[in-house]
Chains A and B, each alone.
Chain A
Amino acid sequence: MTPDIQKAVAYLKEGDAGQAASFLQDMIDRMPEHATAHVLLAQAREALGEWDRALHAWREAVHLVPTSPVIFRGLERAARKGNPLSHEPAKPEQDALTDIDSLIASLESARIVPRPDAASLPTPDLDDDIDDVASETLATIYESQQRYKEAARIYDVLAERRPGQAAAFRAKATRLRSGETED
């Protein structure tokens, strides 16, 4: 499970559906084809009683994973509840979360197997977004802008990414945090 998804699940389990929904919406804006995110967003919308938006999220999910019974049930449920003729109070079903756990597990484990010729070629990283840009160049720019906290954060990321030079990067981060500068 990706860290983002873990975070969203954590919000949901804590009952903070609002937070989960806005977090997931962000994620979907970045990765519109992330099926798990759509499923969780649908859950969050249900928990908030926003049945129309839940219905929309389930539809997106069905579009991406047309075979999942859990998603299909969700779609039906949201369609029923979203119907203004029914006056039932909105209440997520009991087994929803356990079902969801297994669905997430299966979605996350369903990796697309690359074609053999594609596997033999190095391919650019596509998932990393903003952290791609963590580089020594950026760190020194932040330093020259006197944004030492930002610079230190970049060095931390670099230390994680290049274990060989981790000690040097961490030393720089510490120096920056303690407020010393080169001059």
Chain B
Amino acid sequence: MALLYAMAIAVLTLYGANLLWLCRRSAGAGRLIPDASSDLPRDPAFPWPFVTVQLPIFNEPLVVERLIDACERLDYPKDRFEIQVLDDSTDDTPHLVTRCIAAGASRGVRIVHLRRPNREGYKAGALQYGLTRAQGAFIAVFDADFVPRPDFLRRLIPAFANERLGAVQARWGHLNQNASLLTRIQAVGLDTHFAVEQLARRRANCFLNFNGTAGVWRRDAIVDAGGWQADTIAEDLDLSYRAQLAGWGIEYMGDVEVPAELPSTIEGLRTQQFRWTKGSVETARKLLRTLWTSRESFRRKVQGTFHMTGHLVFPFVLIAGLLHVPLQAAAHAGVGPGQAYFGWMALGLIGFAGFGLAQIFAQRRLYADWPRRLGILPVFMAGTIGMSIRNTIAVVEAFAGIPTPFVRTPKFGGASGHRVSPGGFAGRRTAGSVALRMAYPLEFAMGIYSTAGVAYLLGTGQWDAVVFQLFFAVGFVLVATATFREARTKPVR
């Protein structure tokens, strides 16, 4: 037991230390406060290439008009871009789309509405289907809940002057960051990814990822890498690595922000996290071997591995949460590991510092009022711990290889698959797996267990362990109660 716990702490420390390294590499990057977009190159002679803007949509009646409208207003020569609405909706959304298209056409924007005969391959299938009909040499992708600013293409496209550049990713911003505690917590997580991880990997010349939306691809790079494939549920990460292993570069432009809506329900967050966790582990399984047998530098291999397997921390978080109190109790009773053991375990603080520092760096880089925002960080840490049960299930499902048949996705999404998808392209809908439904009672149980642990540690005066245990208690109770209350009010979104 002591060994298992030590292993969990060691893994967490490793990933935390890696974050520390990323912090160091991102240091000195300056602020990323958006968006002084006034002085763009406006040379009329600039040879703006033809761009296809792809909008994969699945049942998004509430946001689709805002999205299409924003894309129609992109400040780019009207005869040099087209919009593809890749609409797999089964509800009323197509009617709304038709209306938007009429409005766009009257403004002289080229816009087409593509409906597929089926939903094979989900988002990857839709993007691939659109690709076969796209006229652009460059492909921009926006999910339904994003709102690009008019200057988006003008700022990203010039980067492709570098002929080996396969994709450019912009930074996600937030439209509803202050709507609730939940959205504030999520914003912290995404900010850390975009303002520390992506930035540092860019500066250290490591592998980056296209985040599925708010970026532009060079069409040749997509084709060269093997196209969009639907055998993982993180088609964005998968394509990113395949393209980079094929020699294409990915650029990250942290100073171009594309705001989006954060899921406003814990259900939505859960689904998104599930997709990212399971998808990245699937991608790791699919591509790690290729990565390590490639001729990339050792550092890029190591960082790529950390990147793709980052979500593996969750099972270890769970193990730590389960074993912490029993070990403390055993030590207290004089039968467990001694002081030296816990002394070594205290090294885990390095990992903890890594996680914390990365968040602080991100907030400082993005917001002028960052000190005021730091109060949310402990809640974010606890909330992340609280998600560890669902994310552990996602990891297990990915390793169990819950069948995700290899779909080569030639033209129409290819062979049929029986994959259970989390649905909605923006990842908002439920993933109805049986294992996931078990998460609710498990979270509830962990909440009680961890809280009892806090009480025990307080009762026996083991003050040094209380703070650590509090994170687990607050995290699981937070997630369990939020889920519980949400289930009672049943919002649709």
Contact = CB atoms under 8 A, between A and B. Distances in A.
A127 interface: yes
B488 A112 contact: yes
B144 to A, nearest CB: 13
B255 interface: no
B181 A132 contact: no
Given A117-B477, A126-B264, A145-B150, A132 B179 contact: yes
A135 B149 contact: no
**Most-contacted residue by chain B among A124, A125, A146 (CB, 10 A):** A124
Given A126-B264, A133-B261, A121 B477 contact: yes
30 contacts: A31-B490, A31-B492, A32-B490, A33-B490, A114-B485, A118-B481, A118-B484, A121-B477, A121-B478, A121-B482, A123-B181, A123-B482, A124-B264, A124-B265, A125-B264, A126-B265, A126-B489, A129-B491, A132-B179, A132-B264, A133-B261, A135-B174, A141-B70, A141-B147, A141-B149, A144-B37, A144-B151, A145-B69, A145-B70, A146-B73
Contacts of A130: 62
Interface in A121-156: 121-130, 132-133, 135, 137-138, 141, 144-146
A124 B484 CA distance: 12
A111 B182 CA distance: 23
B175 A138 contact: yes
A123 B483 CA distance: 10
Given A129-B62, A138-B259, A124 B183 contact: yes
A144 B181 CA distance: 29
Nearest to B173: A137
Interface of B: 37, 62, 69-70, 73, 147, 149-151, 173-183, 259, 261, 264-266, 477-478, 481-482, 484-486, 488-493
A126 B179 contact: no
10 smallest A-B Cβ distances: which pairs? A124-B180, A124-B182, A132-B179, A125-B180, A145-B73, A132-B176, A118-B481, A133-B176, A122-B181, A137-B259
Interface range, A side: 20 to 34
B181 A137 contact: no
Contacts of A32: 490, 492
B492 A144 contact: no
A150 to B, nearest CB: 10
Given A123-B482, A132-B264, A137 B489 contact: no
A125 B182 CA distance: 8
Nearest to B75: A144
Contact of A133 (B69, B173, B179, B181): B179
A117 B481 contact: yes
Interface string A43-75: 000000000000000000000000000000000
Given A123-B482, A124-B266, A138-B259, A31 B147 contact: no
A7 interface: no
Contacts of B174: 135, 137
Given A33-B489, A133-B179, 16 more contacts: A32-B490, A32-B492, A121-B477, A123-B180, A123-B181, A124-B264, A126-B265, A126-B491, A132-B176, A133-B176, A135-B176, A137-B173, A137-B259, A138-B147, A141-B259, A145-B150
In this complex, the member of B173, B176, B183, B266 whose beta carbon has the largest number of chain A beta carbons within 10 angstroms is B176
Contacts of A135: 174-178
Contact of B481 (A31, A123, A129): A123
A144 B481 contact: no
Contacts of B70: 141, 145
